[in-house]
Structure 1
Amino acid sequence: MTPRRNTAISEVRIPRPALEAVDRMRESGEIHVWWWPLGTRTDPADYAVLDEVERGRAQRFHAEADAAAFTATRAGARRAVAALLGIEPHQVGFGRRTCPGCGDREHGPPAVSDPPVPLAVSLSRTAGAGAFAIRAGDWVGVDVEARRPVEPAGLADMVLTATESAHVLGLPEGPARDAAFHRAWTRKEAVVKAVGLGLLGMALNTLDVHPAQDGPVQVVHRYRGEETRWQVTDLDIGERWAASVARPAADPAGPVHLHAPA
């Protein structure tokens, strides 16, 4: 689980700017989201930011483009946390929280493990773009997807509820339909990531995210007879991609700060 703050210890182990940043984020309820384009070749500057475990993972990719995407996303996340907390990228460590479904720590949602501050994080990448979200607290989810044409008999049936499908496929074929579909898809993925269960908790085609409505929207997730509610906000990162971020609806709905690439 996310380490709890112990003042007697944290004043020694955690830099004061980091503590102040977390307190500010908790009070405001803000979310920070960074996104960046992904190239096809690994940037040595990105690779240098990774820790030994991440470098090992990068080296195991067979395709250079996949290694480059992984490296850029992890390096971007590390730099984002460092900038937010006022520390250096090499001082940032990532781990995992306990899985809320089975209690296993090996595949729970990602977390900042060093410094040990109560920050929820989420990572996503797609063709050409990566994204990273962070907030004070326990849960957050971000998703980014490259837009592509919607095939009514294929992907839409796997992703959309009957109500969503009627709305999306009722739109004229082309950009409007594609945009509505990807709005729904990224909202769903952001929620299941925030819940921490992925598709184990609730299939995408049973999760209604109201694509006919402009965001933010409230979404109900059901798992083992229990309901949780999430606020989902759409992110504008250009015409090539769709993106959304989700957080618990009961928490303070502070601003979403979107950090575009420099």
Structure 2
Amino acid sequence: MSAAEVWVVDLASSPDRLDLCASILDDSECARADRFARAADRARYVASHAALRLILADRLDLDPTEIRFATGSGGKPCLAGAARGVLAFNLSHSADRALVGLTPGAAIGVDVEVVRPLPDAERIARTHFAADEAAALAALPADARAAAFFDLWTRKEAVVKALGTGLSLPLDRFSVSLPPAAPRLLRGARSDARIEAWTLATLDLGPAYAATVAVRSADAAVSCRAWAADWPDRLG
């Protein structure tokens, strides 16, 4: 059985704290941050990637600036250098919340989304999701569909991110359960993706967010904790 830890990070930061966050990013991260047209998007990218470096540094007993990243065949980031293969990780952020998921071996994916009104949720589900998922969503009361849609979305995205396939895996190729059922994989995403070899868990971030962690391991023990709210101050 694998163990997975997920850290919930508050991304709201003052400009001076954002400067501290940017100071530990590498050149490629800084370049990507500079490509964001909206200041809010740049701020979230900088803060979330600085938090990722701090969390990894704590687990690896390294300085945050010593963390090295590489890209897997599907575009999924992984550790490089001396820490290569020591931990699998995944990052997701939406609005002022980020998730950082870690496992010592099994592939992991996390996804978080702000829950918001979505009048075309059924159309999106019919177009992009599996037929059984779209039918289950349409069968819900109208006032429950938006929240259920985002729960469903994060379940699917967490699986895709764990697999590291990116956009090459269509979302209708596999099915996950729909709330209020517990999260689980109903139909495999790939021919070698055994349903019994997955653990999906809903993360409680309050009613404003939907969040899921997916671990490619049976019966993985998942723990979820909040990262200290004053975490950017550690960079001063």
TM-score higher than 0.5 here?
Answer: yes
| Contact 1:131-1:144 within 8 A present in 2 as well | yes
* Corresponding residue of 1:237: 205
Whole-Å Cα distance in 2 between the matches of residues 194 and 149 of structure 1?
27
Give structure 1 stretches of 5+ with no counterpart: 1-27, 100-106
| Contact 1:160-1:184 within 8 A present in 2 as well | no
Whole-Å Cα distance in 1 between the matches of residues 206 and 122 of structure 2?
27
Whole-Å Cα distance in 2 between the matches of residues 31 and 205 of structure 1?
27
Whole-Å Cα distance in 1 between the matches of residues 174 and 13 of structure 2?
34
CA deviation string 1:133-181 (max 9, x = no partner): 111114111111111223244322234333222322222222x322221
Q: For the structure 1 residues 259 and 40, does the alpha-carbon distance in structure 2 shift closer, same or farther, using more than 3 Å as the test?
A: closer
Whole-Å Cα distance in 2 between the matches of residues 116 and 160 of structure 1?
37
Deviation of 1:257 (Å): 3.1
Correspondence list, 1:38-187, <5 A = 38-39=11-12, 43-99=18-74, 107=75, 109-118=76-85, 119-150=87-118, 151-174=120-143, 176-187=144-155
Q: For the structure 1 residues 125 and 255, does the alpha-carbon distance in structure 2 shift closer, same or farther, using more than 3 Å as the test?
A: closer
Query: Any idea what SS the aligned residue of 2:156 has?
Result: helix
Deviation of 1:117 (Å): 4.1
Matched letter for residue 113 of structure 1: A
Matched letter for residue 188 of structure 2: H
Query: Any idea what SS the aligned residue of 1:255 has?
Result: strand
* CA RMSD, Structure 1 to Structure 2 (Å): 2.4
Deviation of 1:193 (Å): 0.9
Q: For the structure 1 residues 59 and 246, does the alpha-carbon distance in structure 2 shift closer, same or farther, using more than 3 Å as the test?
A: same
Query: Any idea what SS the aligned residue of 2:142 has?
Result: coil
Length, aligned pairs only: 223
* Corresponding residue of 2:9: 36
Name which of 172, 182, 191 aligns with 1:215: 182
Give the percent of matched residue pairs that are identical in Structure 1 and Structure 2. Answer: 32
Deviation of 1:72 (Å): 0.8
| Contact 1:131-1:143 within 8 A present in 2 as well | yes
| Contact 1:34-1:259 within 8 A present in 2 as well | yes
| Contact 1:147-1:178 within 8 A present in 2 as well | yes
Q: Which runs of 4+ in 1 moved over 6 A?
A: none
Whole-Å Cα distance in 2 between the matches of residues 191 and 237 of structure 1?
19
Matched letter for residue 6 of structure 2: V
Give structure 2 stretches of 5+ with no counterpart: 230-236
Q: For the structure 1 residues 258 and 205, does the alpha-carbon distance in structure 2 shift closer, same or farther, using more than 3 Å as the test?
A: farther
Whole-Å Cα distance in 2 between the matches of residues 226 and 247 of structure 1?
15
Matched letter for residue 72 of structure 1: A
Deviation of 1:45 (Å): 1.5
Which fold has the larger relative contact order, with Cα–Cα distance below 8 Å and residues 6 or more apart in sequence? Answer: 2
